[in-house]
A and B are shown apart, each in its own frame.
Chain A
Amino acid sequence: MASITDAALAGEVEADFSAVDKARVVEALSRLLPAGALMFETEDLRPYECDGLSAYRQLPMVVALPTTEEQVVGILKLCHEMGVPVVARGAGTGLSGGALPHQFGVLLSMARFNRILSVDVPARVAHVQPGVRNLAISEAVAHHGLYYAPDPSSQIACTIGGNVAENSGGVHCLKYGLTVHNVLRVRGVTIEGDIVEFGSLAPDVPGYDLLAAMIGSEGMLAVATEVAVKLTPKPQLAQCVLAAFDDVVRAGDAVAAIIAAGIIPAGLEMMDQPATAAVEEFVHAGYPLDAKAILLCESDGTPEEVAEEIERMRAVLEQGGATEIRVSRDEAERLRFWAGRKAAFPAAGRISPDYYCMDGTIPRKRVGEMLSAIQEMEKKYGLRCINVFHAGDGNLHPLILFDANQPGELERAEAFGADILELSVALGGTVTGEHGVGVEKINQMCSQFTKPEIATFFRVKAAFDPAGLLNPGKAIPTLNRCAEYGRLRVSGGQLPHPELPRF
């Protein structure tokens, strides 16, 4: 049996799992799972070797595909006894390597937990298994005039389990909130095999808010087996304003002006010119190609309310120097406006062999500064970057374009990305708004948090997972790693961006 040292549990050094005995684990798991629910031959493992962040690849030791909670309990208890790491996986659309397998671990695919268990229409709650796709919930309740509000662009594929683990957002979360605001209860299994329920169908459970801790925890605290989500009444009407600007900073200022006017749009998104050009070629949304930036600003509610709000939005945008304003005339046109924004990632994939999506959040007022800095970085790294933003909440998705087949480009893209993340922290923001830390941003966590803060995160993990077996090595860097990263990044006592005040 493998065991983890105290230093690893305290987050000082990486845990070493090389003593895990594959043959014994396979043998023990095969007693718990039916044929076809356990895979350990290389060719069967291949489909699981990466998530949406495909630059990182690792074959798992075994893949388990349970169908019942009882099997999940069995697998986790067994892994706990044998000291085997466990990595949960939903649809594998994560963009930070959260579901990247562990070399000596079990990849626990929750794909077969794909049933909507029940919908309580009067209470506006859906009870679903974690492998249910985000969009499937909204589709299943649409005829009741309800929907599940968080709408990540990946919603046709990503699962609720993954959304819970990443606290995923969408283009409507400024008004309707993130996953954390729309999930009432998560039932799950701890590594010790205990069944736990975080949250409740009744408001505000007593004690520390374990549901909040579970959401966004990247599969590090427990494995979700059932999720109760809040359903929201569909607004009677939604309309979208498309505004063009001849200057990105002016567009950024217009975003602030809308908020200052007391408007909380249902969606508020921004794209720069290269992003607009890339999607236009792909989906023909009719975007103005001469604009330096466009804003998409949505209003929803009753027809009267929408009419009133659209007029106020139009006034603010005109005042803010918009060169062109279009208001969607019907649902088809509204969807066309959004189609471009929602296709930004695939569009990047069309114009470049590879792209690398960043996810920092910064205070809205510093968007202009960030964009100018990114332009400088394009020169520095010799790579192009197109920018789409959840402008309403300051969450940026710069897409760095590169070609992994050109020697050195991947490394330059990663360094470019790291620079953007460090700048996000320096501007008073965070390295990740919604995609999670995973393996991708683990070094930048060292810039955002101090040593005692990182040690606290390890203690929080240990409160749920005392053995340190759930998704080890992700999300929170060991202090050892930070020390090494610090040596790499801080040269001659200089922090990156010394010109900026430190927050």
Chain B
Amino acid sequence: MNDVIEQWQEKVRSAAAEGMSLRPRGGGTKDFFGRRADGEVLDTRALSGIVSYEPTELVVTVRAGTPLAELESMLAERGQRLPFEPPHFGDGATVGGCVASGLSGPSRLAVGALRDFVLGVKIIDGQGDLLAFGGQVMKNVAGYDVSRLFAGSLGTLGLLCEISLKVLPRPAVERTLCLGMGPADAVEHLNQWGGQPLPISASSWHEGELRLRLSGAEAAVAAAVARIGGEEVDAVDAQAWWRALREQRLAFFAEGDLPLWRLAVPSTTAPMTGDWFIEWGGGQRWLRSDASAEEIRRIASGVGGHATLFRGGDRDGEVFQPLAAPLMMIQRRLKQAFDPAGVFSPGRLYNGF
């Protein structure tokens, strides 16, 4: 594997010297995401495999090109999983692409985001240097938290070579409830339940149906089911349904051709009019709309949130909500710090980087 890394370092160095750009790419399952970026594709799948996995340490270290599915099935064999339930968005998803896109699945609000589970990275920076940050241990404050900067960096900061992730045991039991209610009630209930010690691990609301997934010890889940009420969804159907939600295969996401917007808002935000799909205890709300980006962003920032043009629409404009000027300046300088020649996926995140 070291020869692959050395080849990549060489490639980066010559790209930097010649003013060329490279676009790290795993399975290409998230090509739709982010802005359109130029650059010669650097296929990361050549660097694949598990570096180390010890279930009792709750840590796995994998090479960036490892298929996500391979990692997940290895963890499952030992009764563990990636707690943040990353979406694959296709068969070939790699771990590197998963971390670089920074996307979390239905359990986001209950267990935390992908970035919360990143413990360490080994990367190649824009000068071709191989650097390691963080590590394989759960608590580590030596140096700035560079590893988490790479979560969601969309390949613009450097080339991920190895990633260490915290893993957790799979819950003993999962049960899903379905309750009929309107969006305002749903948002109110979700926040009320969120303030109580209930094992809610995922939620979704669409067209009058609120679905709740409860995960944990058998007794705790049973008590919560009794307390919340509603109708229990058959276990197999429920599993398929949460997976379809994570992979955006439900009709709301998969059908129609209006651009798909993701609004992240404070969870207590009152529902807005329109056909919304609500997740994450009220914190993530999806909308299909061809309204202008300005208008949608105004709605999002009006409630203290932000909007992402997730699929479709104009991929040459900004797809992520522009940041306040001082933050944008720090972001630009960070890009410079890791990739002074602008080798990696220029423009994928924001115009200019």
Contacts and interface: CB of A to CB of B under 8 A. Distances in A.
Interface of A: 120-125, 144-146, 166-167, 169, 173-174, 177-178, 180-181, 190, 192, 194-198, 200-210, 212-213, 215-217, 220-221, 233-236, 256-257, 259-260, 262-264, 301-302, 304-305, 307-309, 361-365, 390, 393-395, 428-437, 441, 445, 448-450, 452-453, 456-457, 459-464, 466, 475-476
Chain B CB count within 10 A is highest, among A167, A202, A205, A365, for A202
Contact of A123 (B151, B216, B267, B330): B267
Interface stretch (B16-24, B217-225, B243-251, B288-296): B217-225
B240 interface: no
Contacts of B323: 206-207
B143 A445 contact: yes
A398 to B, nearest CB: 15
B333 A212 contact: no
A393 B336 contact: no
B327 A167 contact: no
Contacts of B139: 169, 173, 178, 361, 390, 393-395, 430, 433-434
Given A122-B195, A174-B138, A217-B144, A205 B337 contact: no
25 contacts: A122-B268, A166-B141, A194-B326, A201-B305, A202-B265, A203-B113, A203-B284, A209-B149, A210-B330, A212-B149, A213-B145, A216-B144, A262-B172, A263-B169, A304-B220, A305-B220, A363-B137, A394-B137, A395-B137, A430-B142, A436-B141, A437-B142, A457-B144, A463-B333, A464-B333
Nearest to B340: A459
B183 interface: no
B349 A145 contact: no
B148 interface: yes
A38 B326 CA distance: 29
A17 B59 CA distance: 44
Interface size class of B (residues with CB under 8 A): 35 or more
Contacts of B330: 190, 196, 210, 463-464
A461 B283 contact: no
Given A208-B149, A434-B141, A453-B133, A181 B116 contact: yes
A212 B143 CA distance: 12
Given A145-B196, A363-B54, A445-B143, 6 more contacts: A196-B330, A202-B266, A208-B157, A213-B144, A308-B218, A457-B144
B217 A202 contact: no
A233 B113 contact: no
A144 B223 contact: no
B192 A122 contact: yes
B7 interface: no
B141 A432 contact: yes
Given A207-B349, A209-B152, A428 B217 contact: no
A120 B197 CA distance: 17
Contact of A180 (B145, B220, B283, B337): B145
Interface in B129-177: 129, 131-133, 135-146, 148-149, 151-153, 157, 168-170, 172
B216 A210 contact: no
B177 to A, nearest CB: 17
B220 A208 contact: no
A435 B141 CA distance: 8
Interface stretch (B66-74, B104-112, B204-212): B104-112
Contacts of B345: none
A361 B223 contact: no
Contact of A203 (B141, B264, B335): B264
Contacts of B39: none
B189 to A, nearest CB: 11
Contacts of A206: 152, 306, 308, 320-321, 323, 349
Contacts of A121: 195
Nearest to A231: B195
Nearest to B54: A365
